[in-house]
A and B are shown apart, each in its own frame.
Chain A
Amino acid sequence: MRLSRRSFIMGSAVSLGWLAAGGVSAAALAGAPATNALVPRKARPSKVAVGEWVGSTCQGCTQWCAIQIYVQNGRATRVRGNPLSKTNHGYCCPRGHLIPQQLYDPDRIKMPMKRTNPVKGRGIDPKFVPISWDEALDAVADKMMALRQAGEAHKLMYMRGRYSSTSTDLLYGTLPKVFGTPQYFSHSAICAEAEKMGPGLTQGFFGYRDYDLEKTQCLVLWGTDPLASNRMVPNTINRFHEIVARGTVIAVDPRLSNVASKAHEWLPVRPGADGALAGAMAHVLLTEGLWNREFVGDFKDGKNLFVARKAVDETAFDEKETFGLVKWWNLELKDCTPAWGEKETLIPAEQIVRVARAMGKAAPKTAVWMGPGVAMSPRGTYAAMAVHALNGLLGSIDAEGGVWQSSSPGSLGKFPSADKYVDELAKKTGKGKKLDGRGAKDMPAMMNAKPGSGVVTNNVANGLLKDPEAIKVFLSSWSNFNFSCTGADRWDKAMAKIPFFVHMVTNASEMTQFADIVLPSTFNAAEGWSIITNMGNGHGYASLQQAAVKRLWDVKQEETEVMWLLAEKLNARGFPGLFEYYSTEFKDPETGKAPTTALEFSEIAAKITSAPIWKAKEPMKGDPPINGWAEFKAKGMFSGPKYALKKNWGKFATATKKFEFYSETLKKGLLEHAGKYETTVDDILAVSGYEARGERAFVPHYETPKRHGTAKDFPFTFIDYKSRLNREGRSANTSWYQEFKKVDPGDVAWNDVLKMNPADGAQLGLKTGDLVKVTSPAGSIVVELKLWEGVRPGTVTKCYGQGHWAYGQIAAKDYARATPRGGNNNEILVDDYDRLSGATARNGGFTGVRIEKA
């Protein structure tokens, strides 16, 4: 017990008092009920805080929830979901409640900074000093102009991290184009891009799906934990218990996740064997006749010819909305028996059968929610196809209680075209080859089935290391690739060689340590202006981000204010295109006036995008009409109409217009890519690291997990997952993140534990609390061990989000010494890709590790 001087004295006095009073108190108490311990006493009145709920948008994950911030005297105090939201029902997930802490983080950068130590590297103090915006932007504009003058505009690179879905056009969409560089990259491929290949190559929808949680009878959460992360977290939390009560919930995840804790069935699949599990389930659905007739069709004579190991005549089956079912069976599924499935996945055959039957019985009201755990692995495209194709068999595509394509709020305002501001030099230098290697023979990156169209974010570091002269000036915003990309130390090496790096961020992150100029950003959920669009629960929506609070520091919004000010600087140096574009083409939809300041530009951009909502001649479909900007600001959001069932039946955006179990869409893309290199599809697949050859390449199928590190040297398979408190790697500097880190199952507050099965711990002589060194072929981290039954022997798991060696004084154990709190998973995860999509691998058991006592 802690005894302060006063409490000790008071404590003693009170004790003595009690002793002294002992003799007389009983009588006294009897006559004086007011002093009896449990006699109620009325409390004096209280008043709730006076303030106002202001609409804005949370960008703590990719759901981009419409929220409201409670503002008291210009300060943000509390957060809730926007009560008008049809997607979050007026609730935010725990992330939203971290907003005030992130906003008022003392470690935020207050003003622009300049590096004074020319030596760059991890752990080397940049010796930042404060400078004015003028000085900072002069320095940036001078460096950019030098590139233009040398005819080297292409040596400018811009990389975006998180962004506004509309304002991004003012930076990502405009600056590289008008300036003349092809080197601009989105972070997208480190997120969950490979997921899109599942619905993309089967139903022509390269996007994130929606799920009819209100009506579903069987929910299969596969490689995703939407009670915590992925997408639609508030909607999932809101509806989960109803689905558990009325139907069946199945969780497929190699570690005991939140959904696995609450599901009826947990299938801890061997990491990377998801394709085999999907194949075995599809085998059961077909052999037991559980496919959905309305969507898939039936055998012409009604007799089920799907018998294990027996090929079927393609003409015997009459398909409806699908294409290639029998080809798929013959090429892949006929041999995927539950017994085979058990061997590959370590899930008991009887559980595979039981679960497949539950899915089939509830169909088409069965939603297979496929997440990054399935897809973000070196051969993830095929796993994504295999898992998503189950929705095709179950007929849940666009069905009530099933899986939907995304909804839109309707057509929003577009920014004027910048085409006429692209000068001759920009046209010339803007056309070069991109540094991320997309479209290379071994990197088809065929997002939208178009080879070479997908970004390969994490490969930019390799591009930079290969060609250190390629980039002279690098701008980046709302990003931290040195922390968020696998093979993180490649970024440390690459960034150390960039001659001039400008970082637009709120906090001095790991990547910022390599910056020459730092431009402090607004915290856009509370300080910026923009329109953010997303969807969920059957509705698309547009949600306003508005400057809800007074800014404490000299910070500016990267995509609007900073671009305006930079354009002014470039204009003054004889490069007028950007400034002319921003200052003459953009007109306030209310007043017709052009912007004259950075802040005006910011607000006008938000007004242009949202004008169709509040200033339309014809009201938009969905929510009741909104009259004027003021009313839109007060409401903060607009939702479009509810998703129409069976919307895409008969007109899927595939080569055949059908849901393709045999993907003509993929075949077309692969043939195009092979044609470009005058080779075969088999050769492309071989150099890209896939196992399929011949016709199998065009059907969803199982590819064995690729693993870096031999079983002998790296005996444990590492499993990465995301915290329900991660605001995309940016919340670890809040004390509440640390205090409640335990809300991730198995995790420990203020810590970053590696979880290992107790049987393995016993064998290695390791116990909970031991410091262990975790080594992979990519690197090592040192963290605390926790023995836990939520993970299979032979695998270990740790959450992503901790291990910051910069960012702030809470996130890092010692910011000044660059000592991390815990260890960053990306320092041990190997830099590898699902090359068909260009997505970075982070799941599927692709990294082997060894564990030693540190």
Chain B
Amino acid sequence: MARMGMVIDLARCVGCGACALACKTENNTRIRSENQSFNWADFIMHTEGTFPNTRHFVMPVLCNHCTDAPCVKICPGNKKKAGKGKPFKALFKTPEGITLHDPELCVGCGRCQKACPYSHEELDNTSLTGETYSVISLNAAGDDPQPFWSGKKAAIAGCTATGAEVSAKTKVRVPAMNAWQGGELKAIRSDDVIEKCTFCYHRVQNGLQPACVEVCPSKARIFGDQDDPQSPIAQVLAKERSFRLREEKGTKPNVHYVGKYSQRG
């Protein structure tokens, strides 16, 4: 047993976006549509104060892999498909404390989005400014889960390609597809299932850091076992004042924040 978690140092973070983009390349997440962002990693942005005493803050956000995960609790799963006496929940906690998703058992009901304090069933325009976000996105039943790469319209007929043509030419669904292989997890998702951050389970299980951690140019993210006192994450948490998002919800998030983004105010 372990309790994997992440610390994000806001003093180091410069809000550049590399983490969220690397997450998209790593996990082949699709283009925003139907009020779902499909951004497993995203940001809260906030400007406050009155000119010239204005302050701007950025906070990277992702699935908090809560210890008391409401998404797991609410998940109806698929008992029938799981088989009698077998674990039937699509969302589940691993022994490492990671909240994972088994699309085979997902019925695409979206209840997890409702139960999760960090998610919305439907995002509106406020998600475009960094006021809101959702760490769980739903691929609706019957929807094309990679619509951009099914595109049939060329900008210049006969001279430029289409999404579908690039996909066919590269012989993969998503041309830049990072073709890792999952157990329960799928490198690209089908319709009628939700999707969310896995702490890059396919990487950490194989001794690598999550993609967002690995690419951060300011090394703002630390990933590791909070229960191992020797681990950098445990040491930072022991030493520095930290906080978690929406602590009052009692979900015991495993993503912590330290440091101040802005030096002013």
Contacts and interface: CB of A to CB of B under 8 A. Distances in A.
Contacts of A88: 217
A46 B183 contact: yes
Contacts of B218: 237-238, 240-241
Of B37, B128, B216, the most chain A CB neighbours within 10 A belong to: B128
B159 A130 contact: yes
B180 interface: yes
B21 A35 contact: no
Contacts of A98: 21
B47 A788 contact: yes
Interface SS majority for chain B: loop
Given A7-B109, A130-B159, A261-B56, A746 B141 contact: no
B178 A77 contact: yes
Contacts of A748: 128-129
A46 B170 contact: no
B43 A41 contact: no
B160 A757 contact: no
Interface in A1-19: 1-2, 4-7, 10-11, 14-15, 17-18
A231 to B, nearest CB: 14
A32 interface: yes
B79 interface: yes
Interface stretch (A55-63, A374-382, A690-698, A790-798): A790-798
A49 B16 contact: no
Given A72-B179, A742-B128, A815-B155, A97 B73 contact: no
A357 interface: no
Interface string B171-187: 01001111111111101
B122 A106 contact: no
Interface string A233-271: 110011011001100010000001010111110101000
B215 interface: yes
A111 interface: yes
Of A2, A10, A748, the most chain B CB neighbours within 10 A belong to: A2
Contacts of B165: 106
A566 interface: no
Contacts of B21: 94, 97-98, 736, 740
Interface stretch (B201-209, B221-229, B231-239, B242-250): B201-209
Contacts of A78: 22, 25-26, 178, 211
B51 A792 contact: yes
B89 A40 contact: no
Nearest to A735: B31
A743 B88 CA distance: 39
A93 B140 contact: no
A809 interface: yes
Interface in B131-184: 138, 140-143, 148, 151, 153-156, 158-163, 165-166, 169-170, 172, 175-184
A98 B264 CA distance: 32
A471 interface: no
B89 A37 contact: yes
9 contacts: A11-B107, A15-B76, A76-B176, A77-B176, A101-B176, A106-B163, A258-B16, A748-B129, A789-B50
Interface of A: 1-2, 4-7, 10-11, 14-15, 17-18, 32, 34-35, 37-50, 70, 72-73, 75-81, 88-89, 91-94, 96-98, 100-101, 103-104, 106-111, 113, 128-130, 227-228, 233-234, 237-238, 240-241, 244-245, 249, 256, 258, 260-264, 266, 268, 508, 552-553, 724-725, 735-736, 739-740, 742-743, 745-746, 748-751, 757, 788-793, 808-809, 815-816
Closest 8 CB pairs of A and B: A44-B183, A4-B141, A46-B202, A100-B176, A97-B21, A91-B217, A104-B175, A6-B141
